[in-house]
Amino acid sequence: MSNSYSIRSTKIGNSAGFRLPSEFYREYPQFANADGWIEVLAPDTAILRIVPKQSDDKDSEDSVLMRLFLDFAITEALKNNTLQPYTTEMSEAAHKLTAGVELDDELLADGEVCQ
């Protein structure tokens, strides 16, 4: 996974910085608002390291989609003020409903077997 992006030097307030193209952030949203550092390897070569705020996400796209889904779900749940705490009784009722249920392997659309 090696993509190259052109960067340009720019003035930022009283400092100087580099401008990254918007395509970079579209392809790698985990780097938005991240911190990092630059290390000079040779007089004409430097390496930039950007550390995402949540670097423990294995698949950032899934992570972004999950956050969007959870934000939507919470917004919808809070609309009518109908949230209830999940109680031990609810958990026991759910376990009773699913006790003894066995699922057969099913073939998914992409050919993978669901177990």
Task: Name which of 90, 114, 95 is nearest 104 in CA terms.
Answer: 114
Q: What is the pLDDT of residue 98?
A: 93
pTM of the predicted structure, to 2 decimals: 0.41
Which domain does 96 fall in, by range?
Answer: 60-114
Long-range CB contacts (within 8 A, 24+) of 22-26: none
DSSP state of 10: E
Answer whether residue 2 is part of any domain.
no
Q: What is the DSSP string of 84-112?
A: ----HHHHHHHHHHHTT--PPPEE-TTSP
Answer whether residue 24 is part of any domain.
yes
Q: How is residue 16 written in tokens? A: 């100087």
Count of structural domains, the chain = 2
Q: What is the pLDDT of residue 105?
A: 72
Residues of the chain with pLDDT under 50: 1, 55, 57
- Degrees (nearest 5) of the Cα angle 100, 105, 108? 135
Statement to judge: residues 40 and 74 lie in one domain: no
Q: What is the pLDDT of residue 94?
A: 94
Q: What is the pLDDT of residue 12?
A: 87
Answer whether residue 75 is part of any domain.
yes
Statement to judge: residues 41 and 66 lie in one domain: no
Q: Give dist(CA 32, CA 22) in Å, integer.
A: 10
